[in-house]
Amino acid sequence: MTPIFYRESGSGPAIVLIHGFPFDHRIWDGFAQRLSSSFHVFVPDLPGFGKSPLEPMTFSLDDIAVMLCDWLRQTGIAPAAIVGHSLGGYVALGMMAHGEDLITSVTLFHSTAEADSEEKKQSRDKAIAFIDEHGVGAFSSSFIAPLFANSAHPGVAHVRSIARDAPAATVKGYLQAMRERPDRTNLIASFQKPMLFLAGELDKGIPVESIQRQASLGKSTEVRVLSNVAHMGMMEAEKEAGDALLIFLRKKSVT
């Protein structure tokens, strides 16, 4: 099994927070603390990021999802509620396909089950070329601020520092894997367990209308739109997003 580095805190039902691109577990620090008063919170580094190794560097997001499923089984964390931010949501969808028995609920946090559009695929290719020419530091300098509704948000500098630590090979590998990921909207329709969509009102990359359309496919889905938030709700609206997730998880853990 590929070693997965993770932090844990709190006690109670298990919840796994999967970070987005190109970050690591530190992106969840404040948010995890908020959840740990009611849940046993596990915060892993995706393979290749932070302290989790990844070999080889050619992989699919399904490969990553299988690694996370193996980790859940072998550590005894499962069953767990899965929360995936952006890229982490793509991985969570892969886990639904490969290990639904390990999951009690799924939250897509600023994430989508739809595949990349042709325009988005071209954007991924341009990002890879930019990294080859200028490096990850320059990429993170330009990539991070637009993820926030307010580019002067104090979280921008912290997120940028996390992104700069990501190895170039990892960043390029995930860009390629995200580019090639399949449409997963069929999983929303077939998933028998609760799902929550946490969306940002001002998220240009994942419009609210798209999230509402996807949520309508599910049997037990909820949508919460975070006001004046773009793509980093765990920092832009830590309390509002945390409260919405806690309400969802407590309700589902009772029912």
The answer to whether 250 and 222 are in contact (CB under 8 A) is no
Specify if 13 maps to a domain: yes
The answer to whether 100 and 187 are in contact (CB under 8 A) is no
Band (pLDDT 50/70/90 cuts) for residue 73 is: very high
Specify if 145 maps to a domain: no
Provide the number of structural domains found in the chain: 1
Specify if 200 maps to a domain: yes
Specify if 209 maps to a domain: yes
Specify if 166 maps to a domain: no
Specify if 194 maps to a domain: yes
For 225, the domain range is 6-116+182-254
Is the pTM higher than 0.85? The answer reads yes
Whole-number percent of the chain with pLDDT over 70: 98
**Domain containing residue 79: CATH number:** 3.40.50.1820
Specify if 150 maps to a domain: no
User: What is the predicted pLDDT for the residue at 219?
Assistant: 87
Band (pLDDT 50/70/90 cuts) for residue 218 is: very high
User: What is the predicted pLDDT for the residue at 253?
Assistant: 56
The answer to whether 192 and 104 are in contact (CB under 8 A) is no
Distance CA 54, CA 32 (A): 25
